[in-house]
Each structure stands twice: as C-alpha cells, then as structure tokens.
C-alpha cells in the first residue's frame, strides 16, 4: 500500500515506490472532494482544492477566498447601515459623524473579541474553524443574553413582514448626519495666578499658620454678582410710623395729666413744711379791746 505525506513546500513526497500511473490518475482528478475514512467517522473535504500540478490540497479554495474578500470600505459601509437602523429605531433623527465613527469602532472591536474567543474554543476542541457552540460559549462569556438576541431577531422579522403587508417602503439608510445646534458659549473664567510669583494673601489671612493650605488659583473662583441692598416693604414702614405716633400721643397725654395734678396738690405738699423764719423775729402782740 502506498502512502504519502506533505512537506513544508506543500509538495507531495512519496515514501514508497509509487508508479507513474498513480501520479497521472491524481492529476486527472484535481477538483474532486476526497474522503478519509477513520474509526470515528467520515470527514469530507470540500473547502480545499488543488493549487499545484499534482492535484493535491495545499490551501483554501479560491472561490471561498473570493467570497470573503471584502474591502474595508464595504465593511465600514455595512456597519454604518446597521448602526443607522439601530439609531433610527431608538428614536434619533440626527447624529454626529464623530459619534457614528466611535460606534463603528466599538462594535467592530466587540465582534472581533467574540470571534477571537470563539476561535480559541474551537482550537481547544480540535476544530479548524469555530462552530455554533463556540460562538454561543463566547457570547455567554461576554454576558450576552442569547434569549434576548433571539427575541430581537424575531421582532425584526415581524417588523419587516408587517412593512411588506402594509406596503410601506423600505427605511432609507441615507441619513443626513447634521451636527446639533451650537450651545451658548461658556462664561469667561478668571485669569490663573502666575506660578512664578507668590500669591497675594489678604491681610485678614496672614495670621494663619503656615501649614494651612494656600488659597486656590483664581481660575477656580466662581464669580457671583453682588447682592443688592435689602429694601423694606412699604407696609412695614407705615406700621412703624403708626406705632411711633401712638407712642408720642401717649407721652403727651401723660405729661398733661402730670402737670394738672401738681398744681392741685401744691398746698398739701408745702403745708407740712416748718417755717423757721417765724421764730427768728420778736412776735408782735395784738391788743384787743373788748
């Protein structure tokens, strides 16, 4: 029985005596899929074709290469269409170009991470390419809910069928990326302190200990307007004037009442006073004839 093995140059090397007739038979059938029978089952090779004159497999098929040969521009356009649909479904009418570019970068990076993890699962299982269980395991490892993905796919199909039944046109993907309106300019900040000069410390703060933290720079100050002086309400002023008039009238009445009482009680006040001059001079005697 003849057998062969491959070298690093992908050329067949025969280890037994192989006739020229066997080589010619192999050259006449380069595109046929080969079948290798093992104890564990049967493996078919449909993805490998002959790239050499001997008709032996040395790499992936050219047709598959052409199918997967997508330019970066085409991939970016497809990602933008997908992101545009998602943005429209969320209710947005416009989007910035920078935001869409960031979405594209993040989505591509996440998909690459899932594929890399699925490829690692396939390598550990002895498979050359990731299978569906590998992709599911990678998605679960990144905390993706498979049921939610299936539900989203089902709802998307329902929406598409509803549009077709009602005769609605396909949603346009030519979104106009209009930047949002400019907001008002930020308030001007105070000029920052010069780092080369020492900060000016107020006189009231110079007595603080040196281990206290210094004053913050000027550009961190918040400029607030000076509060206006408080104005008293007119009703309160009128009420105060009325109280002052009542007090003044009460004092006037009190003074008048005090003067009247003093004039009436003058005799009583001075009646009990001793007149010392009455005993100083000789007393005059009156002669009374009867």
pTM (two decimals): 0.34
Helix, strand or coil for residue 14? strand
- List C-alpha distances in Å: 89 to 86, 163, 189, 272: 5, 14, 41, 114
- Parts of the chain with a pLDDT under 50: 1-66
Question: pLDDT tens digits for 172-205?
Answer: 655 555 666 777 776 665 555 555 667 777 888 8
| Per-residue pLDDT at 54 | 40
Q: Of 45, 46, 47, 44, which Cα lies nearest the Cα of 65?
A: 47
d(CA 216, CA 219): 8
| Per-residue pLDDT at 246 | 92
Read off the tokens for 225. 């307007």
SS (H, E, C) 109-138: HHHHHHHHHHHHHHHHCCCCCCCHHHHHHH
| Per-residue pLDDT at 66 | 47
Q: Of 247, 103, 264, 270, which Cα lies nearest the Cα of 175?
A: 103
Query: Angle at CA 273, nearest 5°, toward 267 and 279?
Result: 125
Give the CATH fold of the 72-166 domain: Histone, subunit A (1.10.20)
Q: Which residues contact 193 (CB under 8 A, 6 or more apart)?
A: 199, 217, 218, 219
> Domain map of the chain by residue range?
4-67, 72-166
């Amino acid at each position: 029985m003849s057998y062969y093995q491959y070298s690093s140059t992908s050329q067949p090397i025969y280890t037994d005596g192989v006739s020229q007739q066997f080589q010619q038979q192999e050259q006449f059938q380069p595109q046929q899929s080969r079948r290798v029978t093992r104890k564990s089952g049967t493996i078919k090779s449909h993805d490998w074709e002959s790239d050499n004159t001997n008709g032996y497999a040395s790499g992936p098929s050219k047709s598959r290469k052409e199918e997967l040969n997508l330019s970066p521009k085409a991939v970016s356009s497809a990602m933008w269409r997908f992101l545009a649909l998602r943005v429209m479904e969320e209710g947005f009418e416009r989007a910035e170009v920078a935001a869409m570019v960031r979405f594209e970068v993040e989505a591509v990076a996440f998909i690459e991470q899932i594929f890399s993890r699925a490829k690692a699962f396939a390598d550990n299982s002895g498979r050359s390419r990731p299978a569906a269980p590998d992709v599911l395991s990678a998605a679960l490892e990144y905390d993706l809910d498979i049921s939610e993905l299936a539900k989203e796919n089902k709802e998307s199909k329902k929406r598409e069928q509803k549009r077709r039944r009602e005769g609605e046109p396909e949603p346009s993907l030519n979104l106009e990326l209009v930047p949002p309106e400019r907001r008002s300019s930020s308030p001007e900040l105070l000029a920052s302190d010069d780092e080369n000069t020492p900060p000016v410390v107020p006189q009231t703060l110079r007595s603080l200990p040196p281990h206290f933290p210094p004053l913050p720079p000027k550009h961190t100050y918040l400029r607030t307007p000076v509060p206006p002086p408080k104005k008293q309400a007119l009703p309160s002023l009128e009420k105060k004037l009325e109280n002052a008039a009542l007090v003044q009238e009460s004092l006037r009445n009190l003074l008048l009442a005090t003067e009247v009482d003093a004039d009436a009680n003058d005799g009583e006040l001075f009646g009990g006073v001793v007149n010392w001059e009455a005993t100083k001079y000789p007393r005059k005697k009156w002669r009374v004839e009867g």
